């Protein structure tokens, strides 16, 4: 029996080849639980199918290898992007007041003196109302949605809480992370701190301290402190490995 002749399973109404079609996702670990169970059941019954999974895994490994040898884009593009964003933001800022002034000038020029007096009364009332609302906003305690972000993912490994320098560019931050083989895993908090994974394993306190001390001397870093691994905060997710590995080294770049 060849692997393409997987027998029909009457209980699950599988067409020949249906399980085969799921094998790439099975090998990649991205199948839904129900489909994964169907594949595992078929694998138990059909040793040829297990050999086919080995072929899929071989393809998977070589596809990853091929992609990772493609390198990375020039670091310059990060700065180009941020420059484009800044230019766009500045242009929008410049446009907005000019447009508003032009509209208001035309609007008031067309009003009769009596209408203008009534409009002015409404304007005074509106300003008073806005002032009241602003005071209200600042005197009420604010919710802090950012704080919840740190309670989530990435609790295995060794971490630091890092605040980046205001002037740090995206390219500099990327280089910094690359040099330390580190990954941003969460943040920013309200205070602008980012959780950075320094190692996949738990380092000794002294070793972690040394790395963090070295980070403090980097120009892109405003402050850095060792952070505790947050194991046990959400035990349901603790078995899942960190999902965002540091980007691999780009050969030739």
Nearest residue (CB) to another protein, 12 versus 30: 30
> Could you tell me the strand order of the sheet in which 158-164 lies?
183-186, 194-199, 158-164, 221-227
| Burial track 35-66 (b if 16+ CB lie within 10 A, e otherwise) | eeebbeebbeebeebeebbeebeeeeeeeeee
Q: Which residues bind another protein (CB under 8 A)?
A: 2-4, 17, 20-22, 24-25, 28-32, 51-52, 55-56, 58-60, 62-68, 70, 72-74, 77-78, 80-82, 84-86, 88-89, 145-146, 149, 152-154, 164, 169-170, 173-174, 177, 183-188, 192, 194, 237, 240, 242-244, 247-248, 250
Nearer to another protein, 60 or 209 (CB): 60
Cβ 150 to another protein, closest distance in Å?
9
Closest distance of CB 93 from another protein, Å: 11
Q: Could you tell me the smallest distance in angstroms from the CB atom of residue 10 to another protein? A: 21
Measure the CA–CA gap between 68 and 71, rounded to whole angstroms.
6
Q: How far is the CB of 218 from another protein (least distance, A)?
A: 15
HSE (side-chain half, CA atoms, 13 Å) at 229 = 20
Q: Residue 10 or residue 241: which is nearer to another protein going by CB?
A: 241
Q: Are 208 and 198 in contact (CB under 8 A)?
A: yes
CB contact at 8 A, 49 and 43: yes
Token readout for 19 is 């399980």
Q: Are strands 183-186 and 158-164 parallel, antiparallel or unpaired?
A: unpaired
**Which of 47/102 has CB closer to another protein?**
47
Tokens of 220: 């892109």
Contact 170, 79 (CB under 8 A): yes
Smaller CB separation from another protein, 38 or 154: 154
Q: How far apart are the first and last CA of the chain?
A: 49
State the nearest-atom distance from the C-beta of 159 to another protein, in Å.
Answer: 13
Measured from the CB of residue 73, what is the shortest distance to another protein in angstroms? 5
CA pair distance 229, 160, nearest whole angstrom: 9
Cβ at position 208, least distance to another protein in Å: 22
* Residue whose CB is less far from another protein, 209 or 250: 250
Residue 119 gets which letter from DSSP? Answer: H
């Amino acid at each position: 029996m060849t692997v393409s002749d997987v027998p029909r399973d009457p209980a699950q109404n599988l067409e020949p080849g249906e399980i085969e079609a799921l094998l790439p996702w099975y090998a990649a670990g991205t199948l839904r639980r129900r489909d994964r169970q169907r594949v595992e059941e078929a694998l138990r019954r059909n040793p040829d199918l297990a050999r086919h999974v080995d072929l899929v895994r071989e393809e998977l490994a070589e596809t990853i290898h091929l992609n990772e040898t493609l390198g990375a884009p020039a670091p310059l593009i990060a700065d180009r992007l941020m420059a484009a964003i800044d230019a766009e933001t500045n242009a929008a800022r410049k446009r907005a007041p000019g447009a508003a002034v032009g509209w208001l000038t035309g609007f008031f020029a067309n009003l009769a003196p009596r209408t203008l007096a009534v409009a002015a009364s409404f304007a005074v009332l509106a300003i008073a109302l806005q002032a009241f609302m602003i005071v209200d906003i600042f005197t009420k305690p604010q919710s802090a949605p950012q704080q919840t972000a740190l309670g989530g993912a990435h609790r295995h490994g060794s971490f630091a809480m890092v605040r980046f320098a205001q002037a740090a560019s995206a390219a500099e931050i990327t280089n910094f992370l690359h040099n330390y083989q580190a990954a941003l895993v969460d943040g920013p908090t309200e205070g602008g701190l980012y959780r950075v994974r320094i190692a996949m394993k738990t380092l000794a306190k002294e070793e972690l301290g040394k790395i963090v001390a070295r980070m403090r001397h980097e120009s892109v870093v405003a402050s850095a402190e060792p952070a505790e691994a947050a194991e046990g905060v959400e035990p349901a997710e603790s078995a899942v490995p960190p999902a965002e590995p540091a980007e691999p080294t780009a050969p030739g770049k």
